Amino acid sequence: MNLQAICSFFVSGQNITLSQQPRVRQRLALGATPRDIDMNGDIASGQMYVQGFIQQHPVSPVPLVLWHGGGMTGVNWETTPDGRPGWLQWLLDEGWNVYVCDAVERGRASWSPYPEVWPQAPLFRTKNEAWQMFRIGPAAGYHSDPGRRVAFSNSRFPQASFDDFACQWVPRWSGNEAITLRAYHALLDKIGPCIVIGHSQGGGFALDIARQRPRDVLAVVALEPSGAPDTHPREASYPPHLALWGDGFQQHVRWQRYRQRVEIYFNWLRAGGTRVDEIDLPALGIYGNSHFLMLDDNAQHLLSRVTEWLTSLACIQAARG
Amino acid sequence: MNLQAICSFFVSGQNITLSQQPRVRQRLALGATPRDIDMNGDIASGQMYVQGFIQQHPVSPVPLVLWHGGGMTGVNWETTPDGRPGWLQWLLDEGWNVYVCDAVERGRASWSPYPEVWPQAPLFRTKNEAWQMFRIGPAAGYHSDPGRRVAFSNSRFPQASFDDFACQWVPRWSGNEAITLRAYHALLDKIGPCIVIGHSQGGGFALDIARQRPRDVLAVVALEPSGAPDTHPREASYPPHLALWGDGFQQHVRWQRYRQRVEIYFNWLRAGGTRVDEIDLPALGIYGNSHFLMLDDNAQHLLSRVTEWLTSLACIQAARG
């Protein structure tokens, strides 16, 4: 890949002044003596981190923006847990300009003190829960000993690297949807028209932002969005949508419910004249995909489906000129 | 820059089983109904995140490894807060292979529940403290209103972007030195011989690791290391060291103490025959540098001093063949 620049920046966020915080005495430098630390004062809160990869000769003037899911960071798009190139690498090899986000509260975006700034404590996702919520195997199939785990027999997830995957997870808060959406808006204010690819919670945010800013979002790709706006879209037509769905829904009541809500929203969109395409992988004879489509063993093939769909769109072809 | 790959991986860390955690009921997906969340089970803890940039035609087979300071992440090495290219970009433009770390507990490395796994609560650095600890201005010079802040008159720090810089900061724990060092060792186990560039707390860690692994660390560059090993080095000779020091020490008793401890260590090294070079910028007539040398307005010039020093070393020339 021939890159002109690798850049990063923060968007959104505000200054918060903390008071009535403890003064503590702790050692901070290697081998030094403890020192007084006063935690009263100003901090940044609610910012989002963005890492940008800008091509020397981009394949399109329209950048791709990658939004991870809940309790995750932009690392999801990088090397897979078992060491294969991730979607980021393939997209850069194809010549796309790409922005990868760490959403508010996660990874390099940092997080704010609780209960002082965010009222609740964060949630730490266990491997036990993830094993079944990510549809890698049945709930009873998880075991602390990797050798004793039971995955679905046709699972495409790199399950031998599941513990490495767990290294990517970060704590999450359930009350930060509004400030997260505010940061995504600020990103679009800054970079302008783009294509958004969102996974899970990030897919739900992508659907919401596409409805709010149809002029800035030229197309949306939602990988197993876990949610969707629950109000009827107001305008007649929105940018084209593509959703991808993996396998294992028939055994998973919660995922069936999540998906039903998204399908209701998609039907609203279609009724208004918006193009909504869906790739239901098992219906195409492709079995065993988990919730993490971009990490599964056919991730590169799935990405090629996405980029074929994108490059077929009139709006993307028009932008290329 | 002509890159072959942008990769990422995690090193170190262990599985921890949490018990007696609360079961909570919260809404996690956009517009969904709340669901039960059981936080009892296994999590990853103590891992470190590494992002690697691999050149198509590297200028040297020896990679550079960049270690940030306390309460920071690898973002420190990227675009400066005022939007200039950071050291990472310049190094990639020069053709170096570079690994950037988010150390244990920070950024994409995630963090662990307290007090369940880490006994203490983290420390949030205030802008008030940073203004003087980073030697941008006097303690009384900080104000919440950016227009009313008073920096040192010759400050080279991009102070108009100080609030953007604060977006980079993450909470820190004071008890995690051992697990952080363990992760740095695991990184060297994985990548082999390298050059370590560390800033502040990361500079102290770099000095420690260079002493422990003189065969894997071919050279150390410490930017204002805040600490150093407090025991006399055991062997006769260690890899070459370079330290850089900014301005403003004469007004700052804490930084004088930190530096004194490092100078004692350097003198031990020199007595044993190790090459230790120091660039004391004010002594060279270069005034106004803050603690964040790689963000100051002369950052590119300072990096050229570092790379000139590195490329002059016999061990680096030998590796190039």
pLDDT in tens, B52-97: 999 999 999 999 999 999 999 999 999 999 999 999 999 999 999 9
pLDDT (tens digit, 9 = 90+) per residue, A277-287?
999 999 999 99
Whether B282 and B251 have beta carbons less than 8 Å apart is answered as no
Second CATH level (architecture) for the domain A3-320: 3-Layer(aba) Sandwich (3.40)
Of B107, B120, B129, the CB nearest to A38: B129
pLDDT (tens digit, 9 = 90+) per residue, A51-89?
999 999 999 999 999 999 999 999 999 999 999 999 999
**Which residues are within 8 A (CB) of A164 and not within 5 positions of it... i.e. 6 or more apart?**
A81, A82, B9, B10
More confident residue, B22 or B226: B226
Question: How much is the average pLDDT of B204-232?
Answer: 95
Chain A residue with minimum CA distance to B56: A1
Structure tokens at B76: 């420190």
Per-residue pLDDT, A29: 73
**Is A128 in contact with B73 (Cβ distance < 8 A)?**
no
* Residue B319 pLDDT class (50, 70, 90 cuts): confident
Dist. CA B69–CA A209, nearest whole Å: 36
Which three-class secondary structure state does DSSP give residue A24? Answer: strand
Dist. CA B152–CA B138, nearest whole Å: 7
pLDDT (tens digit, 9 = 90+) per residue, B156-166?
999 999 999 99
Chain B residue with minimum CA distance to A7: B79
* Residue B17 pLDDT class (50, 70, 90 cuts): very high
Question: How much is the average pLDDT of B11-35?
Answer: 88
Per-residue pLDDT, A92: 98
Dist. CA B179–CA A39, nearest whole Å: 25
Distance from B157 to chain A by nearest Cα, in Å? 17
pLDDT value at A272 more than 80: yes
Chain B residue with minimum CA distance to A231: B31
Dist. CA B144–CA A214, nearest whole Å: 37
B55 DSSP β-pair partners = B3
Sheet strands (E) in B69-143: 98-102
pLDDT value at B240 more than 70: yes
Dist. CA B171–CA A122, nearest whole Å: 14
Dist. CA A245–CA A254, nearest whole Å: 14
Structure tokens at A266: 């998609």
Per-residue pLDDT, B34: 87
Whether A150 and A137 have beta carbons less than 8 Å apart is answered as yes
pLDDT (tens digit, 9 = 90+) per residue, A158-201?
999 999 999 999 999 999 999 999 999 999 999 999 999 999 99
pLDDT value at A302 more than 70: yes
> Count of alpha carbons within 13 Å of B203, Cβ hemisphere only?
25
Nearest partner of A304 among A94, A65, A117, judged by Cα: A94
Dist. CA B79–CA B124, nearest whole Å: 23
The answer to whether ipTM exceeds 0.95 is yes
Question: How much is the average pLDDT of B104-110?
Answer: 98
**Is A44 in contact with B166 (Cβ distance < 8 A)?**
yes
Contact list, B30 vs chain A (CB under 8 Å) = 177, 201, 204-205, 208, 226-229
Task: Kindly provide the b/e burial profile for residues B73-100, where b requires at least 16 CB atoms within 10 angstroms of the residue's own CB.
Answer: bbbbbbbbbeebbbbbbbbbebebbbbb
Which three-class secondary structure state does DSSP give residue B307? Answer: helix
Residue tagged 């969102």 (tokens):
A198
**Is A201 in contact with B228 (Cβ distance < 8 A)?**
no
Question: How much is the average pLDDT of A5-9?
Answer: 98
Distance from A317 to chain B by nearest Cα, in Å? 27
**Is B123 in contact with A15 (Cβ distance < 8 A)?**
no
Q: Where are the domains of chain B?
A: 3-320
Structure tokens at A113: 């003190």
**Is B144 in contact with A258 (Cβ distance < 8 A)?**
no
Per-residue pLDDT, B235: 72
pLDDT value at B315 more than 80: yes
Chain A residue with minimum CA distance to B163: A44
pLDDT (tens digit, 9 = 90+) per residue, A75-125?
999 999 999 999 999 999 999 999 999 999 999 999 999 999 999 999 999
Whether B28 and A70 have beta carbons less than 8 Å apart is answered as yes
Distance from A22 to chain B by nearest Cα, in Å? 10
Dist. CA A93–CA A55, nearest whole Å: 10
Whether A142 and A86 have beta carbons less than 8 Å apart is answered as no
Per-residue pLDDT, B321: 65
A41 DSSP β-pair partners = A18
The residue type of A71 is G
pLDDT (tens digit, 9 = 90+) per residue, A238-258?
999 999 999 999 989 999 999
Whether A194 and A62 have beta carbons less than 8 Å apart is answered as yes
Whether A104 and A175 have beta carbons less than 8 Å apart is answered as no
pLDDT value at A293 more than 70: yes
Distance from B108 to chain A by nearest Cα, in Å? 4
User: CA dihedral defined by A304, A309, A314, A317, rounded to 10 degrees?
Assistant: -10
User: Strand pairing of A194-199 and A64-67?
Assistant: parallel
Backbone angles phi, psi at B141, to 5 degrees: -85, -10
Of B30, B44, B70, the CB nearest to A227: B30
Chain B residue with minimum CA distance to A110: B170
pLDDT value at B187 more than 80: yes
pLDDT value at B110 more than 90: yes
Nearest partner of B238 among B224, B223, B218, B221, judged by Cα: B218
Question: How much is the average pLDDT of B169-180?
Answer: 95
CB atoms near residue A317 (< 10 Å) = 12
Per-residue pLDDT, B48: 98
Distance from A160 to chain B by nearest Cα, in Å? 15
Dist. CA B92–CA B2, nearest whole Å: 9
Mutation site for B-interface testing, chosen from A2, A3, A6, A36 by largest number of B Cβ within 10 Å? A6
Q: Is B27 exposed, middle or buried (0-12, 13-18, 19+ CB in 10 A)?
A: middle
> Count of alpha carbons within 13 Å of B59, Cβ hemisphere only?
17
CB pairs under 8 A between A and B: 246
Q: What is the mean pLDDT of chain A?
A: 95
- The distance of Cα A50 from the centroid of its chain, to the nearest Å, equals 12
